[in-house]
Amino acid sequence: MTRRRIALGLCMALALAAVFGASLYRDRTRRPMYTETWWDLFDTVTVVSGYADSAGEWQAQAEALHADLLRYHQLFDIYNHYDGLTNLADLNEQAADGPVAVDPALMELLVFGKQAYALTNGACNIAAGGVLALWHDARESVQAAQTASGETARDSELTALLPDETALTQAARHMDIRDLVLDEQAGTVRFADPELQLDVGAIAKGWAVEQAARAAEARGLDSALINAGGSVRAIGTKADGSRWTAGVQDPDGGDVLRTVALEDGQSLIVSGDYQRYFELDGVRYHHLIDLATLQPARYCRSVAILCRDAGLGDALSTGLFCLPPDQGQTILKELTGAEALWIFEDGTLRASDGWPAEAD
């Protein structure tokens, strides 16, 4: 009887090992590393690297992670509509007419957007869609003209494509976050100002990365690094137990200026003037708009945020980029576990008190 039980137990163990890639017996420090690259998320390139017991296990985890991120991408899209889905593009068209029922994930993002506004003293404002749309359209028009002309178009001609002050001032009258009315109990959203427009670009990518990473962890993914266009989130450690690392890039495209070793669950988020921009008459017009001046922010070249929530990091990187550094430091002092690194026009760096030493 004892031998039968031992034999049965051995068979069950072998069966489980087969199902889970022999993880019960393999030296986990020697697990292979896998990498996936996706181009269909948040208008950027997303690279995920990680370790798993087998190619099948990794593929299942990667497909689930991509599915989560793609769903968030579609929910938060302000330019396109999707069948069977009420997303931000729908909300921007319909919410002025009355309450619109939304997906719980979209409601959670909008609630967080209001929190981000308060946290950054209004520098990160998801209700500023009207102002941001003017700059987005200008960027598209100038870049298209430059491409079509083969760089022969004169800057003086292209300057006419920039948003004029009257249009910007008019749009700024309709970005009061209080006009975004959220009924969490009913699950509905409405705009008290019919000309309000949402743009969640300042928070959506980081928030989506954080939520997708948490879901992946719950599914058993224990070693991965997600990098969605500069929004980096660590899951666990590498197979050998060392920490994942992420770098802060030189805004001029040179070497990495600082490398950070990320703890499990930690994120590094970077916002800079080198990501989406065009230049006219030697002036760089980028996508990070100072809502106090309604012009691209000029306080620094980039801001990197290190914290334990990629959504918070995204909001802070945008907000602090669009504020004087001293005000950014004041905001950080009210938070626990969030640090910042500023890079300025002259190449100098300024780190908050808790920014870690350079990683090996």
DSSP E strands in the chain: the ranges are 33-41, 44-51, 100-101, 180-183, 188-191, 223-228, 231-236, 244-249, 256-262, 267-272, 277-280, 283-286, 289-290, 295-296, 302-307, 339-343, 349-351
Strand partners, 129: none
pTM, entire model: 0.90
**Which two tokens mark 118?**
């308060």
- Burial of 177: CB neighbours in 10 Å, binned 0-12, 13-18, 19+: middle
CB burial string 3-18: b at 16+ within 10 A, e below: eeeeeeeeeeeeeeee
Whether residue 78 contacts residue 62, with contact meaning beta carbons closer than 8 Å, is answered with no
CB burial string 264-285: b at 16+ within 10 A, e below: ebbbbbbbbbebbbbebeeeeb
CA 106, 137, 139, 163 dihedral sign is: negative
> Cβ contacts of residue 56 below 8 Å, gap of 6+?
21
Supply angle C-alpha 129, 135, 137, rounded to 5: 95
Note down pLDDT in tens along the chain; length 360 residues.
444 443 444 444 434 344 444 444 356 788 999 999 999 999 999 999 999 999 999 999 999 999 999 999 999 999 999 999 999 999 999 999 999 999 999 999 999 999 999 999 999 999 999 999 999 999 999 989 888 876 666 777 889 899 999 999 999 999 999 999 999 999 999 999 999 999 999 999 999 999 999 999 999 999 999 999 989 999 999 999 999 999 999 998 878 999 999 999 999 999 999 988 988 888 999 999 999 999 999 999 999 999 999 999 999 999 999 999 999 999 999 999 999 999 999 999 999 999 998 766
What count of other Cβ atoms lies within 10 Å of the Cβ of residue 212? 25
